[in-house]
Chain A
Amino acid sequence: MPRPSLIAILALCLFAWSLPAPAAAQSQTPLQDVLQGVQEQVARPSRAQVGAVLEALQAADAPGTASFLNRWAAREVYERPEDGLFFYGREGPDRSLTLIDIDTDAEVAEVTTRDVNQIRVNAGVRREIEASLVTFELLATDRDRRIGALRTIARSPEPDHIPALETALAEEEDGAVATRMARVLDLLNARFASDSATRVAAIEGLSGDITTEARRVLNQILSTESQFATEIPEGTNVARIRTPGEDLDLIDAYARLAEAGLVPPRPGRNAIRDALRANVSDGEVAGIPVHRLNTEEARREAYRALQEQGTVPPLPTQAEMDEAVGHFVFFDVYEEPDTAVTDAARDALDSTRTAIGLWQFLSLSLDALSLASIFFLAAIGLAITFGVMRVINMAHGEFIMMGAYTGFVVQTLIPNYTTSLIVALPMAFLVTFAAGVALERTVIRHLYTRPLETLLATFGISIALQQLAKNIFGTQARPLTSPDWLAGSLALNDIVSVSTIRVAIFVMALAFLLALVLILNRTRLGLEVRAVTQNPGMAASMGINPDRINMLTFGLGSGIAGVAGVSIGLVAQVTSEMGANYIVQSFMTVVVGGVGSVFGTLAGATLIGALQKGIEWFNPGNTLAAQTFMVLFIILFIQFRPKGIVALKGRAAGD
């Protein structure tokens, strides 16, 4: 990966190319000179005259103008009476003041506040300056500054920005920037334009726009408020009429009337209880003995008895509440009075929702793909040891963990993240390959005829390795940091974005798939592996050493687990238990996909990844529920396709 050196060369070229640039900048008129040209207006700013200053600044476009405007408005600019020059001032203790040169930022002199005039800018002028600041940025020659200004406006839109934007849009020459300007102008017009036609046109322009700013503007226009009245007043922009008993709770409706003081409040359960408590006399309430008041009915009965005596406020009956509520209409009303605007906004939002739905589906598919590649990476080694060799290796997860810790150790030795990653991948393969070969030689080869006992023995290895890792590395999670060029994310728009590391893992999974398919189908080793797994006796008589092949195959599967561990460690935390988190899922991936087939594992991983994300879509934010339902689905799936998605047929199926 020649990335850093490439960047270095590029940087050098850029540097050489940009050398003449400072010289060009120096030929511009310094800001001080521009300001001296309108000295009087700057020193004593008024609303009538500030325009001239701003125009002059705009025309000269000296460096540091934006900063000057900001500090001018913030009253940080001082005039030296002797020569009329302007300085920025930094206040020190005891009225001392450091004068700073406007152009060079150098400290010029140490004076007191009495020696210089602070330029006092009033509120009206400040508003002018701030508006002009936006215009200034919008008209800047630098494209990035114009885009930055647009972003600021979109984030906090103000009605004042409209004229500035219109001016800028008229002068904009860059097509892309002009499009963005038009969109931001739509955002502003939709909310702040004075006439209904402009607003409707602007809203229609926002239709299908999935950015959060556009959606926020539309939702703001459509915000509603619940009201009630005897009849709906003329000219109200009604969003929805609510019918008590159907889409509005009767008791809530009554409570709202009571809140407005139109009906006496209805005592709730607690109020009834308190009223009864207050009226206990001689062990009974209104003739009903206290010990009988342990049901709701008895309490209401006692309360009504009290009500007849007139000691408590009345408890309205169902009929009374119905009648009181029946006098009123309950409705939601748009805060925006203009029907045309709200209708347009509703339509726009509907079409936006469709667009969002499509984009979210795409985003979900990408998530599912990324999850599937992680499952695939975790399971691919198992596809060899379990799928091809039929060895149940419960320590597979610990090989993943071992690979990840190898990555961590390499990273502590080599500080450069890119180099350490490049070293870590083969290192992890070697370490886990060796561990796999050792495990096969010492334990597994004695148990080829007893698969259930392989499961138990490798489980013993698994708990021993887990505890060993805990003893060596401690219980806290160790970070495996990815290099900077993998740290960012690729954003297509506000909804769809994928982190680079997940793309890398996807690519890695693809590479693994290809490599494995090549090894199994196109190499001598692959041929021998298939021969030994299909018929060891026959393979042996053809001159293949089954012991050696089993050892190599198991080592290969374990080594792949190690490399997968490094990649998984980049997205998840490296802990001694990380392998255990993947083991059950990996086995299910292999079983669902179809034992004995690499493509089956791919299919299994894709299915499980898609399923988990799909379930999360229906039940957002609940990963646990998604996992639960996924496991249930797998249990059911195996009922109907016990051999998995890709079921081997003929001799390759073994049994």
Chain B
Amino acid sequence: MEMSRTTAAPVKRRRLFQNNPSVLWFMGQLGLFTLGVTILSEGFGIGVISTNLVKILGMTLCLCLIAIAMDVVWGYCGILSLGHFAFFGLGGYAIGMWLMYARTEIVIRESLAGGTIPPTEREVSEAVASQIFSVVGSNELPLIWTFAGSLPFQLAMVVLVPGLLALIFGWLAFRSRVTGVYLSILTQAMTLALSLYLFQNDTGLRGNNGLSGLQNIPGFLHVPQSVISVWFFWASAFALGAGYLLFAWVVSGKFGSVIRAIRDNEARVRFLGYNVEGYKLFVFTLTAVISGIAGALYYPQAGIINPSEIAPIASIYLAVWVAIGGRGRLYGAVIGAASVSLLSSWLTGGGAPNIDLGFYRIIWTDWWLVMLGLGFVLITLFFPKGIGGLFDYLVRKQ
């Protein structure tokens, strides 16, 4: 995606920024934020921000990335997908397999190196398998782990698995003209099926134990987490910036007009001779791939991934973020995802002080979801444009 933009003529880029003044502004903000966090971090700066907080901020950037993908597919193209977290999770699993395999292999090789004769490849892979899979009562390496030791292969999987799944699913769904709430329910069924599948112990991804220890990066096992967390923060910021540019480019220009037209009146676009299914399929697949990449950056910072991460509820939260932020505008999705997920982790993490009303004590961990749910209803009813709508209001007032 980097390539496509650099090869684009400067004329086009000027037009992109002219059409979307918010892109440059967003890039500036993101750059400043990244710089600020780096200076304040433990690994590279003065250590005001703890490593844990750097990780949370990096993870939030990944959530912002999947939120703008969701915004493009829903806010711009009108497909309310309740399954994009499945792609996010698949990206995480793909990279998690390499992280877990390669780290275990290093540990196993170190422990076997002490023997009088060197271990065979088979001995190593058997030892790795029994180390990883003893928790689900198996000691054989499942077929899908055959190339788990290869970073390029698993990186390709980060893109290919979500992309192919979205392509096949989208092709089936759009071809038979499943639209509206039916499509939403179908995507929800997809993510439910996937999470149920991954919950099984015999599917080769450790069932409900998931993949763990992902924060240890093979090859950099002796680099402290404070440094690694900043690296991942940078990577997340870069991915968010690149993703933002890519999507800003996609939704501007003629392509953007067509997908917005599909959102507003699908039948009319079809009668005008456009291949509606093709456009939808492209948007669905592209956003799925970006979601996969976001997941691949998110889970090494989270350290663990398990099937409950891709339960239907996660994808619904994604829609909530985008709706609160204001759909149909990329910065709205970023604002929604960042504010709601940070507020959520602050309130449920015990960071916020409980309020004693005398007759009742408000404990935020108990009441946050109630507030979020009701607040969300109010926003849907009275502010359908979300927080982003406020900007419109202010601009018009000026």
Which residues on A are within 8 Å of B, measured CB to CB? 273, 276-277, 280, 285, 290-291, 293-296, 299, 392, 394, 443, 446-447, 450-453, 455-457, 459-468, 470-471, 580, 584, 587-588, 591, 622, 624-625, 627-628, 631-632, 634-636, 638-640, 642
Contacts and interface: CB of A to CB of B under 8 A. Distances in A.
A457 B377 contact: yes
A632 B178 contact: no
Nearest to A295: B120
B190 A456 contact: no
A290 B120 CA distance: 12
A279 to B, nearest CB: 10
A610 B59 CA distance: 43
Interface string B171-196: 01101111011101110111011001
B336 interface: no
Given A468-B370, A591-B185, A290 B320 contact: no
B367 A471 contact: yes
Given A461-B373, A631-B189, A639 B316 contact: no
A459 B320 contact: yes
Given A443-B377, A460-B376, A294 B366 contact: no
9 contacts: A290-B116, A299-B117, A443-B377, A446-B381, A463-B376, A470-B366, A587-B185, A635-B172, A642-B178
Given A460-B376, A466-B369, A628 B196 contact: yes
B273 interface: no
Contact of B370 (A447, A464, A588, A624): A464
Contact of A290 (B117, B177, B189, B190): B117
A642 B181 CA distance: 13
B199 A624 contact: yes
Interface in B178-221: 178, 180-182, 184-186, 188-190, 192-193, 196-197, 199-200
Given A451-B181, A457-B381, A624-B199, A642 B176 contact: yes
A295 B370 CA distance: 61
Contact of A293 (B117, B175, B320, B376): B117
Nearest to A464: B373
**Most chain A beta-carbon neighbours within 10 Å: one of B176, B320, B369:** B369
B353 interface: no
Nearest to B382: A446
Contacts of A465: 373
A277 B176 contact: no
A462 B189 contact: no
B118 A631 contact: no
B184 to A, nearest CB: 6
B377 A460 contact: yes
Contact of A467 (B189, B369, B381): B369
Nearest to B378: A460
B312 interface: yes
A634 B182 CA distance: 12
A276 B117 contact: yes
Interface of B: 80, 115-122, 169, 172-173, 175-178, 180-182, 184-186, 188-190, 192-193, 196-197, 199-200, 312-313, 316, 319-320, 323, 366-377, 380-381, 384
A339 B193 CA distance: 52
B370 A460 contact: no
Nearest to A298: B120
A632 B193 contact: yes
A627 B307 CA distance: 15
Contacts of B173: 639
B196 A624 contact: yes
A648 to B, nearest CB: 15
B364 to A, nearest CB: 12
A280 B115 CA distance: 11
Given A452-B80, A642-B176, A460 B184 contact: no
A447 B380 contact: yes
Contact of B181 (A455, A464, A625, A635): A455
A624 B207 CA distance: 11
Contact of B377 (A461, A625, A628, A638): A461
Contacts of A452: 80, 180-181, 184
Instruction: Give the secondary structure class of B's interface.
Output: helix
B110 to A, nearest CB: 15
A459 B196 contact: no
Given A443-B381, A456-B320, A295 B376 contact: no
Nearest to A462: B373
A499 to B, nearest CB: 25
A591 B184 CA distance: 12
B366 A588 contact: no
B176 A460 contact: no
A290 B366 CA distance: 63
Contacts of A453: 380, 384
Contact of A464 (B80, B122, B369): B369
B11 to A, nearest CB: 38
B200 A471 contact: no
Contacts of A638: 176, 178, 182, 186
Contacts of B185: 584, 587-588, 591
A627 B192 CA distance: 9
Contacts of B373: 459-465, 467
A455 B120 CA distance: 57
A634 B189 contact: yes
B378 to A, nearest CB: 8
B114 to A, nearest CB: 12
Which are the 5 A-B pairs with shortest beta-carbon distances? A464-B373, A460-B376, A631-B193, A467-B369, A463-B373
Contacts of A461: 373-374, 377
A374 to B, nearest CB: 17
Contacts of B122: 296
A490 B221 CA distance: 62
Contacts of A632: 193
Contacts of A588: 185, 189
Nearest to A270: B123
B14 to A, nearest CB: 36
**Most chain B beta-carbon neighbours within 10 Å: one of A451, A464, A471, A634:** A464
A113 to B, nearest CB: 58
Contacts of A587: 185, 188
B117 A285 contact: yes
B176 to A, nearest CB: 5
Given A392-B181, A455-B184, 16 more contacts: A277-B116, A294-B119, A443-B377, A447-B381, A451-B180, A452-B180, A453-B384, A464-B372, A470-B366, A471-B370, A584-B185, A584-B189, A631-B193, A632-B193, A635-B169, A639-B176
Contacts of A299: 117, 120
Contacts of A471: 366-367, 370
A461 B379 CA distance: 12
Nearest to B371: A464
A276 B320 CA distance: 64
B200 A457 contact: no
B197 A628 contact: yes
Given A273-B117, A467-B369, A635 B186 contact: yes
A242 B185 CA distance: 54
**Most chain A beta-carbon neighbours within 10 Å: one of B172, B181, B319, B367:** B181
Given A295-B121, A447-B381, A639 B320 contact: no
